[in-house]
């Protein structure tokens, strides 16, 4: 359930008409519902309440400080994949001991910072990374808590670009090499093994790949116990999907029940890294119709948002429902909804049946709360959109709209080229 609903033919976010928000903040505009984020987090987190667990929100899904601060107040931890995301989580008030650091390319500087602030653990993704982690920890005289991210070669049955648990993916350590890495870590007293980790992909709509991955982790866990390792945390990542169109992902209660059943009897704290399921349907991207046109083959609706604002349709051929902000009961047409970017891949929908629109109308691109603004760019020197967060009848600007001056500020013209 989310809090974007129609009242008398007008789309609202919680208690505020979307049209009114746009009148103040313009378009393109990301709008997030605080109630939806809070509701989704509570449902997911409480589904695991019968076992020790830590829900570390996946910051990459939506890293706005307003969103992170809301989740921090709800007790969320954070899964970060960069030094920047670490600083965002800390700035939002998430305690370091609730932060896990994932990602295949951690730099020395990022490792140093994370060690100094005292994060819960590093999810290590290669033998070389483990070596560097130990080297930095020894230099700083700080023990580095870590888990090895096992790649279990499990097919998550999702889009290839968001699959992470297959042997051909860049993520994690091959399952058969995990034990030897833990044994190798014993050579450095500043490496502290405290967990085991995996993450097999994003937007999964069935439970079976999770179960297969968990079973493989259990086998590794028991083998490590037999070798004398005392681990505390089992991190199974995130990836549970949401409804964009016709998908039927399992509800969190069904997911948790299956996972808990698999882990019965193991003395551990489960770490979960949900992202999309918390914020995906908690946000929309509102865009204004600039022009409409037709040729002998197609109708086009040209809007002021582009692939630089929301790249998922161009990158993944992802489906997003698109609805009018004011539903006037117009007849439907079939059209391509496209942006102003000079790329043929700049589209939000192709051959989509939508109500007939005209210049100046507003459209809401639904389910844009995850992997929306965070993946936006300044291609074609386009300032990025503003972001607002709604709580009941209050609207908070949580990121102002960029200006052209913002984009030019970091650039310099060499003296020899100045006219």
> Which residues form the catalytic set?
342
Determine whether the annotation assigns residue 312 to a binding site. yes
CB contact at 8 A, 36 and 43: no
Kindly state the DSSP code that residue 342 receives in the 8-state scheme.
Answer: S
Extract the tokens encoding 89: 């989580």
Determine whether the annotation assigns residue 84 to a binding site. no
> Which residue's entry shows tokens 């670009």?
161
Task: Provide the H-helix boundaries in 372-414.
Answer: 404-408
Determine whether the annotation assigns residue 276 to a binding site. yes
Determine whether the annotation assigns residue 275 to a binding site. yes
- Helices 83-91 and 108-117: crossing angle in degrees, nearest 10, is 30
Determine whether the annotation assigns residue 57 to a binding site. no
Determine whether the annotation assigns residue 226 to a binding site. no
Nearest in space to 231 (alpha carbons), one of 192, 284, 261, 199:
192
Determine whether the annotation assigns residue 400 to a binding site. no
Which residues on neighbouring strands pair with residue 55, listed in sequence order? 272
Determine whether the annotation assigns residue 223 to a binding site. no
Determine whether the annotation assigns residue 273 to a binding site. yes
CB contact at 8 A, 382 and 407: no
Extract the tokens encoding 227: 């070798």
CB contact at 8 A, 37 and 4: no
105 CB-near residues (< 8 Å, 6+ apart):
none
Extract the annotated binding site.
Answer: 239, 273-276, 312, 316, 343, 371
Q: Which residues are part of a known binding site for pyridoxal 5'-phosphate?
A: 239, 273-276, 371
**Which residues define the annotated binding site for substrate?**
276, 312, 316, 343, 371
């Amino acid at each position: 359930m989310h809090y974007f609903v129609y009242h008398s033919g007008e789309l609202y976010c919680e208690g505020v008409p979307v049209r009114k928000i746009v009148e103040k903040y313009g378009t393109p505009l990301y709008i997030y519902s605080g109630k939806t984020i809070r509701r989704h987090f509570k449902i997911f987190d409480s589904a695991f309440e019968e076992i020790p667990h830590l829900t570390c929100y996946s910051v990459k899904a939506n890293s706005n400080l307003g969103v992170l601060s809301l989740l921090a107040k709800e007790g969320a931890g954070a899964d970060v994949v960069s030094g920047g995301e670490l600083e965002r989580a800390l700035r939002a008030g998430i305690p370091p001991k609730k932060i896990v650091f994932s990602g295949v390319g951690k730099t020395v500087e990022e490792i140093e910072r994370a060690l100094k602030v005292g994060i819960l653990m590093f999810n290590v993704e290669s033998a070389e990374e483990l070596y560097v982690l130990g080297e930095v920890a020894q230099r700083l005289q700080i023990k580095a808590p870590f888990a090895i991210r096992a790649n279990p070669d499990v097919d998550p049955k999702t889009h290839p670009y968001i699959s992470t648990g297959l042997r051909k993916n860049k993520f994690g350590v091959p399952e058969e090499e995990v034990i030897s890495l833990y044994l190798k870590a014993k050579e450095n007293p500043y490496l502290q093994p405290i967990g085991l980790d995996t993450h097999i992909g994003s937007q999964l709509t069935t439970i079976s790949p999770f179960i297969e991955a968990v079973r493989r982790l259990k086998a590794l866990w028991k083998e490590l116990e037999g070798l004398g390792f005392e681990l505390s945390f089992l991190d199974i990542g995130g990836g549970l999907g949401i409804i964009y169109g016709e998908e039927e992902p399992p509800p969190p209660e069904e997911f948790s029940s299956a996972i808990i059943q698999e882990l019965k009897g193991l003395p551990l704290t489960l770490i979960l890294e949900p992202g999309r399921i918390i914020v995906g349907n908690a946000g929309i991207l509102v865009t204004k119709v600039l022009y409409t046109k037709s040729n002998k083959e197609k109708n086009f609706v040209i809007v002021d948002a582009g692939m630089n604002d929301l790249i998922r349709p161009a990158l993944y051929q992802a489906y997003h429902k698109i609805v009018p902000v004011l539903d006037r009961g117009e007849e439907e047409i079939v059209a391509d909804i496209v942006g102003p970017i000079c790329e043929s891949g700049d589209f939000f929908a192709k051959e989509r049946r939508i109500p007939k629109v005209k210049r100046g109308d507003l459209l809401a691109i639904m389910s844009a709360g995850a992997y929306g603004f965070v993946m936006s760019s300044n291609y074609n020197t386009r300032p990025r959109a503003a972001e607002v967060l709604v709580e009941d009848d209050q609207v908070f600007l949580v990121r102002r709209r960029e200006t052209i001056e913002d984009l030019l500020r970091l650039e310099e013209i060499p003296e020899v080229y100045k006219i």
